[in-house]
Amino acid sequence: MTIDGRQVAAGMLAAVPFARTLGLEFGEIGPDPAGAAGAVRAVVRLPDTPATHNHVAGPHAGAMFTLGETASGTVVMAALGHLLDRAVPLAVRADIAYRKLALGPVTATARLPRPAAEIEAELAAGRRPEFEIPVEIATDDGTVRAEMTVVWTLRPN
């Protein structure tokens, strides 16, 4: 599988206006070097701006949630975007645990641990696949400040 990370990032910014509103920055998008064959990873950054701060000068919980959800959606588009003519990706539910106060910019790293081919096979078999995307949100020093899991589905057209 070949992934054009710049094209995926541009598509996300075009399709998700709120990502532009928050000023999200897309980093690495492609095969996950630490994952199994067919695993995909995306890295998305939320810059440190007063407009996204909460009452204790860190990134607002909603901004961090959006960062993590956007990173997970970026993984979905990178791995399964070629299926858009057959299915619409939708977030089904999400869970986030804020572990430590974050100050400064934060980066979300999302991973698709399953091979995309398995998910595509479920869709081809007439099922509506659901799959989890784990996300870690960390500060620039690498300290994980939040952990998130987003469950996605592919709704057949």
3-state secondary structure 4-66: CHHHHHHHHHHHCHHHHHHCCEEEEEEECCCCCCCCEEEEEEECCCHHHECCCCCECHHHHHH
Burial 56-69 (b: 16+ CB within 10 A, else e): eebbbeebbbbbbb
User: What percent of the chain clears pLDDT 70, i.e. is strictly above it?
Assistant: 99
Question: Residue 51 maps to which CATH number?
Answer: 3.10.129.10
The whole-number average pLDDT for the span 11-22 is 94
Domain count for the chain: 1
Cα–Cα distance, 130 to 115 (Å, whole number): 13
Strand pairing partners for 153? 90, 130
pLDDT in the model for residue 2: 79
The whole-number average pLDDT for the span 9-24 is 95
Burial of 32 (0-12, 13-18, 19+ CB in 10 A): buried
pLDDT in the model for residue 1: 60
Tell me the whole-structure pTM to 2 decimals.
0.95
Q: Quick: pLDDT tens for 62-117.
A: 999 999 999 999 999 999 999 999 999 999 999 999 999 999 999 999 999 888 99
Quickly state the pLDDT bin for 35 (edges 50, 70, 90). Answer: confident
Is 38's pLDDT higher than 80?
no
Q: Quick: pLDDT tens for 120-135.
A: 999 999 999 999 999 9
Query: Domain containing 71: what range?
Result: 5-156
Average pLDDT, the chain: 95
